Chain A
Amino acid sequence: DTGVSQNPRHKITKRGQNVTFRCDPISEHNRLYWYRQTLGQGPEFLTYFQNEAQLEKSRLLSDRFSAERPKGSFSTLEIQRTEQGDSAMYLCASSSGTGPYEQYFGPGTRLTVT
């Protein structure tokens, strides 16, 4: 069990640029989540995958955000035309099973938009 990994750990980009983050969940975990955490706040849910299907998206996820999980393995989160308000820590988590199993979090990707 190597844990959830995320890349890159840090990303600095200029406003208007596109960025993509990657999450590798714990192997065989069928559920994958993306959360966003801003300074001084708890994480907020963005989206959820069960295997390769994206089953739920938060209203926080504007049209500039897109997430994929091809083949039900790793996932990517892309932000197009970044804005300064997108600056945050983006956390990925995975869990197994069909019930309320605990979610295991990756170290996060810190995005800074200048």
Chain B
Amino acid sequence: AQSVTQPDIHITVSEGASLELRCNYSYGATPYLFWYVQSPGQGLQLLLKYFSGDTLVQGIKGFEAEFKRSQSSFNLRKPSVHWSDAAEYFCAVGASMDSSYKLIFGSGTRLLVRP
């Protein structure tokens, strides 16, 4: 079955500290992987994506993610968190076996930033 798991429901970090949000996927074909961020009451904003090639991808707002096929993981990282990064983060896999390429999302990780 296709699924995305984000094991951490909440994560709290201090401003200026590093961040890693975990994402594991289960998908039978080539995964197209995405990280989105959602602020309260807002839609989702794309942070970064992985389709192929270099397994370390850079995104907006200083985020990066690393695709590890052997671990079925696509973890999101940021070296120094800012208070404005407090939001909910969603990992998603694009269903490449479907012509729709619909997104299958994890349940999200809520990031809290301590001043």
Contact = CB atoms under 8 A, between A and B. Distances in A.
A109 to B, nearest CB: 10
B43 A91 contact: yes
B54 to A, nearest CB: 17
A17 to B, nearest CB: 23
A45 B43 contact: no
A42 B43 contact: no
B105 A44 contact: yes
B63 to A, nearest CB: 15
B7 to A, nearest CB: 14
Given A45-B102, A56-B100, A108-B43, A102 B90 contact: no
B44 interface: yes
A43 B105 contact: yes
A1 B20 CA distance: 32
A107 B43 contact: yes
Contacts of B32: 100
Contacts of A41: 107-108
A18 interface: no
Nearest to A3: B43
Contacts of A103: 46, 103
A33 interface: yes
Interface stretch (B67-75, B76-84, B91-99): B91-99
Interface string A97-114: 001111111111010000
A14 to B, nearest CB: 23
Contact of B101 (A44, A99, A104, A107): A99
Contacts of A107: 41-43
Contact of B102 (A42, A56, A101): A56
B100 A42 contact: no
A49 B90 CA distance: 23
Given A35-B103, A41-B108, A43-B105, 11 more contacts: A4-B43, A33-B102, A40-B107, A45-B104, A50-B100, A55-B99, A56-B100, A91-B44, A99-B101, A102-B46, A105-B43
Q: What 4 A-B pairs have minimum CB-CB distances, sorted nearest first?
A: A42-B105, A105-B43, A48-B100, A100-B32
